[in-house]
Amino acid sequence: MSNGAPQGAGAAGPLAGVLVADFSRVLAGPYATMLLADMGAEVVKVEGPEGDETRTWTPPVREGVSTYYLGVNRGKRSVALDLRDEGDAALAQELARRADVVIENFKPGGLAKFGLDFASVSAANPGVVYASISGFGSGKGAHVPGYDLMVQAISGLMSLTGDPDGPPYRAGISVFDVMAGNHAVIGILAALRHRDATGQGQHVEVNLLSSALTGLVNHSSAFAAGGVVPFRMGNAHPSVFPYEPLPTADDDLIVAAPNDRQFRKLCEVLGIPEVPDDPRFAHNADRTANREELRPILVERLAQRTATEWFDALVAVGVPCGPIQTIDGGFAMAERFGLDPVVQAGEGERAVPTTRHPIRFSATPARYELPPPGLDEHGTQLRAWLSAPHSGPVPTDVAQEDARG
């Protein structure tokens, strides 16, 4: 599969041998390339002389480094190249020529003047999988800046988020950057499969607005298939009840019982086994239509115990529920379930605690050998490798030196 990736110490994973030239920055692209690195790809992060701007997005920090940057850049090597410099541009072009995958999130067409657009790169490297991430596509929306918050507003997500009587709200994370990053990974893997079968590379295009519209799932379908424009309902669900937070003796508890079996189990645990036999609450459509009558019945019973007590009792019988927690509680719950949510990227003093890759592989586990790189940390070795006649991957001893930082 490889066009000659530099092999790191202990290289492994389902994408071992795949070289990724990463010309992206901020979130969507770096998140995608981090996932590829976790799965064994060798990722070379190309940064401008000032570095990825998330290096300066603080607070919070860890030992003076932005935790935002640290969160999406493990597993990579960094080289700083000024694409306006003819020599640096030539090195970038050589990296793209050797790469299996090129990924970028410049303004559409912005890399053409450096000979790094898809047409230029694929002319020298016909098998390349070239992935572009933009805000609004490479057509009529190419001139519009692509920021997640803009897309949350434009797509309609903010109109769906918040109290019905209050203002629209953004999601707590850059949800469409993350979604687009995942879509980019899916597209890259599919294109690599096609390349392996045919020898042909291709251009994979992802844009935040399209990711947003598909990611709005049932709300998108309400409009596209039903002609309905949904609006925010706070924490309520338009089609299911109960499916929202309900108060207990202390904290609110998310209760999700969308099917009849789960609702009957819920009522049994709450000590109201007769409620599912009431025609008003017999089926989901009935419960949704009569939610204002059902809610106080459930709340009265939930008030007798704490959220944690109800959580243990309800999940024991298969009723989905969960206490509303801060992020530390989320990590603690993952620990409780044996998910080991925190891993160390790198070794020794350079190691950085980071969130585990979300996919488990039985034969080719994710790797976390390299911590997020300092700006141009591997520049000397990478420039030497790119300047030399290409006859294979970076020598193992150099790659190991890189891994130690």
Which class for 75: exposed (0-12), middle (13-18), buried (19 or more C-beta within 10 A)?
buried
| Amino acid found at 85 | D
Q: Which of 177, 252, 260, 376 is catalytic?
A: 177
Cβ-based neighbour number of residue 218 at 10 Å: 11
Q: How far is CA 92 from the centre of its chain?
A: 26
Q: Which residues contact 88 (CB under 8 A, 6 or more apart)?
A: 81, 82
Cα 213 from Cα 199, distance rounded (Å): 32
Query: Is residue 177 flagged as an active site residue?
Result: yes
Taking alpha carbons only, the member of 298, 301, 304 closest to residue 250 is: 304
Give me the helices (H) in 42-174, please. 67-70, 86-98, 118-124, 148-155
Which class for 235: exposed (0-12), middle (13-18), buried (19 or more C-beta within 10 A)?
middle
Cα 207 from Cα 226, distance rounded (Å): 25
Beta bridge partners of 202: 129
Cα 103 from Cα 108, distance rounded (Å): 12
Would residue 296 be called left, alpha or beta, if left means φ above 0 and alpha means ψ between -120 and 50 degrees? alpha
Cα 299 from Cα 195, distance rounded (Å): 56
Pair of tokens at residue 143: 């001139």
- In our burial notation (b when 16+ CB lie closer than 10 A, e otherwise), range 157-171 reads bbbbbbeeeeebeee
**Residues annotated catalytic, as ranges:** 177
